[in-house]
Amino acid sequence: MTIEIDGINKSFGQFQALRDIDLAIPDGQLTALLGPSGSGKTTLLRSIAGLENPDRGRILFSGEDVTGLHVRERRVGFVFQHYALFRHMTVSENVAFGLKVMPRRERPSKREIRRRVRELLEMVQLDHLAGRYPAQLSGGQKQRIALARAMAKRPEILLLDEPFGALDAKVRKELRRWLRSLHDELHFTSVFVTHDQEEALELSDQVVVMRQGRVEQVDSPLALYSQPDSRFVFNFLGQVNALSGAISGGVLRQGEAWVRLPESCDDDDAELYLRPHEVRLTQEPSRDAHLPFRIEAINVIGAEVRVELRPDGWESEELWEVGITHSAFNARQPRRGDRCYAVPDVGHLFCDHLSEPKTLSWYESAG
């Protein structure tokens, strides 16, 4: 089922939570609403569910205007961050609850309810815990039960509000993979709220970045990360190194630091953004860049080594971060306090005369 948001506005007193939201959510896809606190993502999710009534605009499910429909009439499943399970009910009773309180003419038979609950518990791989109470479950198990309960009424749309926010990192990762697998198997339309960039990029088919009640950018995870439309999106999606200054003669300068751009341009106000994996560390400056640093910290994390750098001899309040391979680290054995130089391979230029950021590459000049 497709979801179309047409000019939605929503205010709470003097605070405007949503501002002229236009958004299309494709059928059968998993869409993430991503943004900082106060960006409006949860208000938008609740508006889709029917838990909030917009002040202006429309919400359509597969072309049908549902703006005025009560939440019970929208065939939407909702999963809350803190599970909202009934503590006095067993796991199977929690899953069956939504079915048992349906209007009599729509309510399945007791036998059908038992069958559906059994199937759902098997689906979330917790059928062996049917007789337990929520207090006897782990956080990950509670979230699976909450998902099974949301799906009991066979909703056409599944909405999840920070579904993994209350879980530790390892359980979050396991549940993300599980939900993605389940979604691929059942092909329902899903929308979930998160402030976790990694979660949004790993789990979703489409990411909606929100800021101050507006949609900043909508794109696939890969396109969003590699081609952000604005400085906000670039900064919000992961670590970024920035060089700010004026461009003259094709060279961007910030104090004693400079980078020669592979494409000539001039501008008084420019910023060059570089992801940690788009920068190399050398012991000498290159012909294209003079970016001296002192190594501030070295963190061995997973498949790479992250090196934190403090600008040496030029003004910058922010530390830079560069990711290097374990083999490169072992070959060079850099240590805290060592002097080094950053060399850009790929960068993203923001400046006044460009309507959108320009991606630059130094690979050709390096060769």
Q: Do both 224 and 266 map to the same domain?
A: no
Cβ(34)–Cβ(208) below 8 Å? yes
Q: For 163-216, how does the pLDDT look when each residue is reduced to its tens digit (9 = 90+)?
A: 877 677 777 788 788 888 888 888 889 999 998 888 899 899 999 999 999 999
Range of the domain at 33: 3-230
40: left (phi over 0), alpha (psi -120 to 50) or beta: left
Element (H, E) at 133: none
d(CA 159, CA 156): 10
CATH number at residue 308: 2.40.50.140
Q: Do both 221 and 283 map to the same domain?
A: no
The angle formed by the CA atoms of residues 161, 165 and 171, to the nearest 5 degrees, is 120
How are beta strands 56-61 and 3-12 bridged, if at all?
Answer: antiparallel
Q: For 323-336, how does the pLDDT look when each residue is reduced to its tens digit (9 = 90+)?
A: 999 998 998 889 99
Q: For 267-305, how does the pLDDT look when each residue is reduced to its tens digit (9 = 90+)?
A: 778 999 999 999 999 999 899 999 999 999 999 877 889
Q: Which of 279, 266, 276 is nearest to 299 (CA)?
A: 276
Q: What tokens appear for 29 in the block?
A: 């896809």
| pLDDT of 306 above 80 | yes
Cβ(233)–Cβ(267) below 8 Å? no
DSSP annotation of 342 reads E
Name the domain boundary from 207, 230, 253.
Answer: 230
Q: What is the mean pLDDT of residues 17-41?
A: 95
Pick 125 or 128 by higher pLDDT. 128
Number of domains in the chain: 2
| pLDDT of 86 above 60 | yes
What band does 365 get if pLDDT is binned at 50, 70 and 90? low
CATH number at residue 141: 3.40.50.300
Q: What tokens appear for 315 in the block?
A: 């003004």
| pLDDT of 133 above 90 | yes
Supply φ then ψ for residue 48, to 5 degrees.
Answer: -65, -40
320-325 sheet: strands from edge to edge: 279-282, 339-344, 292-301, 304-311, 320-325
Q: Do both 218 and 250 map to the same domain?
A: no
pTM for this entry: 0.84
Q: What is the pLDDT of residue 33?
A: 96
Cβ(213)–Cβ(8) below 8 Å? no
Q: What is the pLDDT of residue 367?
A: 46
